[in-house]
Amino acid sequence: MHHGLDPASSLSSAGAALSAAALGLRALPLAGGLFGGGRFDGQVALVTGAGSGIGEACALELARRGADLALIGRRADRLEAVAAAVRATGRRALSLPCDVTDHAALGGAVQAAVDGLGGLDLALANAGAGVNGRLETTPVEQWRRQFELNVLGVVSTAQHCLPHLRARRGRLGLVGSVMGFLSLAGAGPYASSKAAVRSIGTTLRLELAGSGVSCTTIHPGFVESEIAKVDNDGQLHPDRVDRRPSKVMWPADRAARVMIDALYDRRGDFVFTGHGRAAAFIAQHAPDLVEFILRTAGDRATNRPQL
């Protein structure tokens, strides 16, 4: 469904300007810790949205670092393929098909993971998708679906996992987005859902203080995934062209390495890629400049002939 301004077109137009405005910031270190590569030998990790993209890459990275995996997602065939890849590293894996918007079913999947693998040391709430459209014309049902998945799915994952993480002074990770720091015309549902995830992460760090459990909120920039191939109703279109700017997009395995480093180091908020960090920094410290850049880029995208 097309709702006027295409957020991908705005991002492409705005990317060069934001990058130029923050060129020096891109030199700041990205990786968690001084050396990276922290191990999770013998620990149990649970990943939602584990059937593809960032979730799959993080599951495989955790397995390479010694963790056993509980894999949660909607597509049983994809989960089993990831589980087979985890087992090929010599680690245990459970494939647990489940929709994170079903609170009771997710609770059952988490308990099955704990029972099957002997506990829980790390949980990564990664499941999510993007709904795009202008506020006036995007159906409320699509807004509701966006928040049920991206926000309530994170809350539900945290609620079910935290009692088990408390028992082992474990790690909780929430996957947000650089879009949690800024928005675009035509991207309100997604950006506002990720802003909520950012706020939830801050809240959890305050509420978990002294418990031994860390909460790391991870805000990726552009990373290779299927997100641009899924429509507002959650249907995957494998042949759809990903219009996000490819020149600044990270492969999922590279993203997974720095994400797992950040979790290992028990970071608070962690933003990557370089362009993503620059955009988030400017959005926080020069919001009027960002609005001007994005508004100008949006005007150009709106007036651009559609090919």
- CATH number of the domain enclosing 90: 3.40.50.720
Alpha carbons 131 and 193: distance in angstroms, whole number:
10
In a domain, 48, yes or no: yes
pTM: 0.85
User: Positive or negative CA dihedral for 62, 65, 67, 69?
Assistant: positive
In a domain, 67, yes or no: yes
Give the per-residue pLDDT at 7.
53
Give the per-residue pLDDT at 33.
46
Q: List the one residue out of 282, 205, 285 whose CA is nearest residue 14.
A: 282
**Token pair of 15, please?**
């990317």
**Mean pLDDT, residues 178-191 taken together:** 93
In a domain, 131, yes or no: yes
Check residue 90 and give left, alpha or beta (phi > 0: left; psi -120 to 50: alpha).
Answer: left
**Token pair of 158, please?**
């945290």
**Whether pLDDT at 143 is above 80:** yes
Give the per-residue pLDDT at 294.
83
Cα–Cα–Cα angle for 17, 288, 296, rounded to 5 degrees: 45
Give the per-residue pLDDT at 217.
98
Residues of the chain with pLDDT > 90: what percent?
69
In a domain, 35, yes or no: no
Mean pLDDT over the full length of the chain: 86
Alpha carbons 220 and 225: distance in angstroms, whole number:
12
**Token pair of 46, please?**
């649970």
Full residue range of the structural domain in which residue 127 is found: 7-21+40-303
Alpha carbons 162 and 121: distance in angstroms, whole number:
10
User: Which strands sit side by side in the sheet containing 93-97, from one edge to the other?
Assistant: 93-97, 68-73, 44-48, 122-125, 171-175, 214-220, 269-272
Residue reference for tokens 């997710």: 106
**Mean pLDDT, residues 167-192 taken together:** 95
190 is catalytic: yes
**C-alpha to C-alpha distances, 48 to 8, 68, 228, 240, 301, nearest whole angstrom:** 26, 14, 19, 24, 35
Check residue 247 and give left, alpha or beta (phi > 0: left; psi -120 to 50: alpha).
Answer: alpha
Count of structural domains, the chain: 1
Most confident of 30-44, 111-125, 216-230: 111-125
In a domain, 29, yes or no: no
Q: β-strands 122-125, 93-97: how paired?
A: unpaired
User: How many other β-carbons are positioned within 10 Å of the β-carbon of residue 94?
Assistant: 20
pLDDT in tens, 102-116: 999 999 999 999 999
Give the per-residue pLDDT at 14.
52
Alpha carbons 240 and 207: distance in angstroms, whole number:
42
Query: Residue 44 in contact with residue 117, Cβ under 8 Å?
Result: yes
In a domain, 171, yes or no: yes
Of residues 40, 143, 181, 190, which has the active-site annotation? 190
In a domain, 27, yes or no: no
pLDDT in tens, 245-261: 677 779 999 999 999 99
In a domain, 229, yes or no: yes
Least confident of 5-9, 116-120, 121-125: 5-9
